[in-house]
Homo-oligomer: A and B are copies of this chain.
């Protein structure tokens, strides 16, 4: 049971809760494992519980199963998925598929919704979490609409570097095919994009990426910031 508590403590959703409430939630939660390729849930289904990723990687996908399938989001440990679906009790807008072996905690939706009304702290973190997810989606929309695929790759690499506390050498967290889909491009195009970014000091060997000129890469990724049009990622990337 202790590892479950540790898992929740690592999740931004639950880390700020008093240990009383946390243990109550823990008592309702259960642990579950999935094999590579398994679907945790599928599009159209009604969410009856909240998933918190403890270990492994999960991809959120939409579109026809094999052909048009497209990766909307790649999740990492401590992420919870689709809180929006759980809280509104409306059908999932995407499916969740295990990439490797996956370990999750699940919390019954009913219980969660009850705790929200009685526990203001939980409501607050839930709001914060939803707001952040919302903003992430807005960023995705902007990326899709006003950047080229090559630029999207650029910001992806910059984000990864950022996560790795600004180090200029990063290792790709997934196979290239997945990353390509996440960035809304084909593997072929990703391959070409990588080559093209050499021009901005990006060096890729296998799954290891070195960014030799972060400033140049950033410049390339911006959609010509002509005016005082201060972009958001700019803030994110520089405030660190």
Contact = CB atoms under 8 A, between A and B. Distances in A.
Work out how many copies of this chain go into the complex: 2
A164 interface: no
A118 B145 CA distance: 39
A215 interface: no
Contact of A135 (B64, B93, B232): B93
A223 B63 contact: yes
Contact of A232 (B44, B118, B235): B44
A138 B93 contact: yes
Contact of A131 (B88, B139, B141, B145): B88
Interface in A111-145: 116-118, 120, 123-124, 126-128, 130-135, 137-142, 144-145
A85 B135 contact: yes
B127 A127 contact: yes
B134 A84 contact: yes
Given A44-B230, A124-B116, A138 B72 contact: yes
Given A64-B227, A70-B145, A227-B65, A87 B140 contact: no
A67 interface: yes
Contacts of A91: 230, 232, 235
A68 interface: yes
Given A65-B229, A93-B232, A226-B64, A87 B127 contact: yes
A43 interface: yes
A123 B67 CA distance: 41
A206 interface: no
A223 B62 CA distance: 11
A115 to B, nearest CB: 11
Interface in A43-89: 43-44, 62-65, 67-68, 70, 72, 83-85, 87-88
A146 interface: yes
A86 to B, nearest CB: 8
Nearest to A130: B130
Contact of A62 (B44, B64, B126, B142): B142
A59 to B, nearest CB: 14
Nearest to A71: B145
A224 interface: yes
Nearest to A121: B117
